[in-house]
Structure 1
Amino acid sequence: MALIIARFFIGIIIVILSCVEVEYYKTIVISLLAIGVLTDVFDGIIARRLNVSTQSLRRWDSTVDQLFFISVIAATYLKYPEFYEVHWVKIALLVGIELLTYLVSFLKFKKEIATHSIGAKIWTLFLFATLVDVIIEGNSTVLFELFFWIGMLTRLEIISIILILKTWANDVPTFVHALKLRQGKPIKRNRLFNG
């Protein structure tokens, strides 16, 4: 929980730093962004190692992940609005499909999503790389395109996972695993990443 809370405050600090003139801004913000991503990677691993990973903790993790990246995106918008002006249509599509995943989950299960799918984890790495690219260059081309298409595909997979599941579940690696859960079959989860 400490890592989850730390990630929340790191996001706020990044927004504050983007509102003021700070020497070595890029280095500081990229370092904080990297620390935030590392807290996201290790919070689940540590919780599983300590055998304290609960549905509640996984739901908090997912919610704070969203808030953290919204904060970083807002911060980069404050510093590099031109990037967002150029790519606003694709960004709006990503935001729309992300909101749709939450809407589908709330309509079906009355809970937010916490699938922590493998695709979502890959997309997070592309989000991190794209944000670093924007912070360094004020722009992103190839990485942004990869981020966009991987984001669209992984959000569609998450929607399919939600629709396939009979009951709400966290840590569902792929839609194939969701199909097995629907059939009442056990699924194999990676102990480090989603088990």
Structure 2
Amino acid sequence: MIYELMISSCYPDRYWFQYVSTGDDYYELLQCKKIQSNNPIVFKLEKKVSEKRLLSYDFYFSDGPEFISPRLANLLSNNQDFLHDVQLIDATIIVNGRSYSGYKVLNFLRLISCIDMNKSEYVPILDYLPDGPKKFYKMVLKENINEQFCMARCEESIGRIMMSESLRQFFIKNKVKGINLSKQYIDNDFIFSY
């Protein structure tokens, strides 16, 4: 069974970070290729927040890529299966004017086919690009995926991140905070996919 990486319902709106470009274009992170980067990717939080509460999370969301806490990066640094699928890129966050390092951007290196297009309902976003981005009315995940993976981008909807049951269990065991770890299936109306 596979799951979509989804934000936790407990993740406050005020914790959405602004992606600050450091020369590495966000588009590069959608290519499923390793990136050579000498500068950390920077994220900034404009709103005043409780740093103690904010820093207790492990997954963070932004208007750019997803990134993880130093604690989760440390836990995953010894997981060779995870590191085969995901490159960890240095990130720095700026909160209440203070800079914090040790965070890692997730650069997904795998692309797998995971949506059952025969059972899903969708239309092309652009009529003249029938094989381009889709607008899903109903999305059904494939039940039998033979490929072994921890995390990967979804081939049919590249902006969606999928995770394996074993990685989900790892996150549950380690009390990872910030993502939805319940067994939910995709059933959203008017999903825009890229």
TM-score range, shorter chain: under 0.3
* TM-score of the aligned structures, taking structure 2 as reference length: 0.23
* TM-score of the aligned structures, taking structure 1 as reference length: 0.23
Q: Which has the higher contact order (CA 8 A, sep 6+)?
A: 2
More helix by share: 1
More strand by share: 2
